[in-house]
Structure 1
Amino acid sequence: IPFFDTGGGAVGRSILLAGVVLAIMILPIVAAISREVFAQVPTSHREAALALGATRWEMIQTAVIPYGKPGVISASMLGLGRAMGETIAVALVLPASFDISWKILTPAGNTIAANVANSFGEANDIGKGALIASGLVLFVVTMVVNMVARAVIARRSEFSGRAA
């Protein structure tokens, strides 16, 4: 499969490894926030579902998950924002390379944040301007992700408000 082609080399410091490291880093944040959201479900909702004859899993499906869906989406977006802004972990995992590769197992590629962190010290005036511009692009992408997250959460809250 071309997407997973290693180019005949060894698999090591790759975009796949950076993605796994970031997933492990954001998992505790998403899990903790989701747990707190599910703990905030009113006891009356749970007890009402159980009183109507629902099993425990049916109660979770009908009472807990719909109530906590906006919070879980918020937790996921918070985790995504943390992963997008994570610089040092990606800079340590990926090699300093300016090649763009669509193969996730090859040791090539760099993120915008890691590029800024690795290159800012030895950049000249034009290079610093380019790095500041790439930081601005990262900021704009982060703002767009946050706006989309707010829109999704508002829409989910609107739907859950109508159902109640």
Structure 2
Amino acid sequence: VMPHAAELARWLQAQLGWIPIFDVQGADPNAAVWDASRYAASAFCAGIAVAMMVLPMSCAVMRQVFSQTPPGEKEAALALGATRWGMIRSVVLPFGRGGIIGGTMLGLGRALGETIAVLLIISPAFDVKVRILEVGTNTVSALIAGRFGDASKSQLSALLAAGFVLFLITLVVNTIAAIIVSRSRSGAGTDA
């Protein structure tokens, strides 16, 4: 997958390189022979890999919720003259709103924890880069996984503090997701 992601990153630089976030310093996307390693270890490629790992679980949750839509409501919408898309928009999507939000937040929570995949793809660096196609970046979880074994006492304290901050971010995201899902219409508590 990474060679294809690197090709996509090169295309993005060629087409949108005038936008600073898509520019790669020192790389010519229009060169006859180009170096894939200039793009393959970037945050963009790591994001594609994490998305491919997270999307199946999110989609499975959403699909399960959509399949629990009461058939009577779907048939009633179709009997009243709604098209298939109209029935989906007016019955299935409102019924599954909690599942959509829950699946999305579940995927986001899993993406926050994909440490090893990101660590194996990116080239760890300690500078913040605003260009997503450039090699060399880091995430908090990858930083902890990559540096924990060799850390001195003060570095260990910093890594533990970073882990605590990551835990707090995950806790806030999951709490917000639980609140949103409980407020939205779900299949369990529909009125007849």
Q: Same fold (TM over 0.5)?
A: yes
2:184 match: secondary structure = helix
1:4 aligns with 2:22: yes
Instruction: Compute the displacement of 1:5 (Å).
Output: 1.3
- Number of residue equivalences: 162
1:106 aligns with 2:124: no
1:14 aligns with 2:32: no
Q: Which sections of structure 2, spanning at least 5 residues, go unmatched?
A: 1-18, 28-37
List per-residue Cα deviations over 1:129-150 (Å, max 9, x = no partner). 1111100000001011112212
4+ runs deviating over 3 angstroms: 161-164
Aligned residue among 147, 156, 171 for 1:119:
147
Is the contact made by 2:96 and 2:185 (CA closer than 8 Å) also made in structure 1?
no
C-alpha distance in 2 between matches for 1:80 and 1:35? 17
User: How large is the Cα RMSD of the aligned pairs?
Assistant: 1.8
**TM-score with structure 2 setting the length:** 0.79
Is the contact made by 2:113 and 2:141 (CA closer than 8 Å) also made in structure 1?
yes
CA separation of 1:37 and 1:162: change in aligned 2, threshold 3 A: closer
Aligned residue among 96, 102, 120 for 1:74:
102
**TM-score with structure 1 setting the length:** 0.92
Instruction: Compute the displacement of 1:108 (Å).
Output: 1.7
Aligned pairs for 1:20-35 (under 5 A) are 20-35=48-63
Is the contact made by 2:105 and 2:177 (CA closer than 8 Å) also made in structure 1?
yes
C-alpha distance in 1 between matches for 2:80 and 2:40? 54
Q: Which sections of structure 1, spanning at least 5 residues, go unmatched?
A: none
C-alpha distance in 1 between matches for 2:107 and 2:59? 10
C-alpha distance in 2 between matches for 1:162 and 1:12? 48
Instruction: Compute the displacement of 1:157 (Å).
Output: 3.0
Instruction: Compute the displacement of 1:6 (Å).
Output: 0.6
Aligned pairs for 1:1-164 (under 5 A) are 1-9=19-27, 10-157=38-185
